[in-house]
A and B are shown apart, each in its own frame.
Chain A
Amino acid sequence: MTLDILYFAWLRERIGAPRERVETSAATVRELVAELVARTDRHAAALSDLGAVRVAVDQALTDLDAPLGNAREVAFFPPMTGG
């Protein structure tokens, strides 16, 4: 399936792009992360500490073990700092 991957804050800076489109057969977010990490050194560095990474699937907060199902958009970002 085709997925839009979005990155925010320092993840965007470390990846070097705010978004990219990937073809994947990953069943879960964790499997998708493993594929992304294998793409480039930048991806590997940005996603090296998953404890500092939050994830949303189709704009809903979830966790690394979430199934991707028919998702269209997955976003990776640091813990949020609003307010």
Chain B
Amino acid sequence: MRVLVQPEPFDAAALTQGFGAGAGAVVTFTGLVRGDDGLTALEIEHYPGMTERALSEHAQAAAERFGLSDVLVVHRHGRIAVGEPIMIVATAARHRRAAFDAADFLMDWLKSRAPFWKREIGAQGPRGWVAAKDEDEAALNRW
């Protein structure tokens, strides 16, 4: 299991090189900053200490619940330009269903329970904080 919270960009290919060796299924999901409405970047604040701890606990919970042989979670903070990756999750399991479900479960949790807060940056500078979405909260109830 590997959990990283970092400001630096990451190389998804390098991070997943050799990930899940021996598993029957590996699922990876990478989230990118979308350039909606003239957005130029996102600025992501986190809670140093709690964020790493919460991510580790949840990655562990996903590994147990879905029988994963390995799990990777990397989430960036700080300023991230449109088009750049924000985060990646990778899950490895014997069969595809567990790997897909575990990645989906981790993403639903990251959206509304991991201590990160996004602010939009436009050409004129910082805009508002991104509001939590009801559908993200509802998605958690699936699990």
Chain B: how many interface residues by the 8 Å CB criterion?
A: 27
Is the beta-carbon distance between B117 and A61 smaller than 8 angstroms?
A: no
Query: Which of A56, A60, A80 is packed against the most chain B CB atoms within 10 Å?
Result: A80
CA of A79 to CA of B132, assembled, Å = 6
Is the beta-carbon distance between A82 and B114 smaller than 8 angstroms?
A: yes
Residues of B contacting A6 in the complex (Cβ-Cβ under 8 angstroms): 47
Whether a CB of chain B sits under 8 angstroms from the CB of A78 is yes
Residues 59-83 of chain A: 1 if any B CB is under 8 Å from the residue's CB, otherwise 0? Answer: 1110000000000000101111111
Chain B interface residues (CB < 8 Å from chain A): 31, 44-45, 47, 49-50, 53-54, 75, 86-87, 107, 110-119, 129-132, 137
Chain A: how many interface residues by the 8 Å CB criterion?
A: 17
Is the beta-carbon distance between A9 and B45 smaller than 8 angstroms?
A: yes
Given contacts A10-B129, A59-B53, contact A81 B47 (CB under 8 A): no
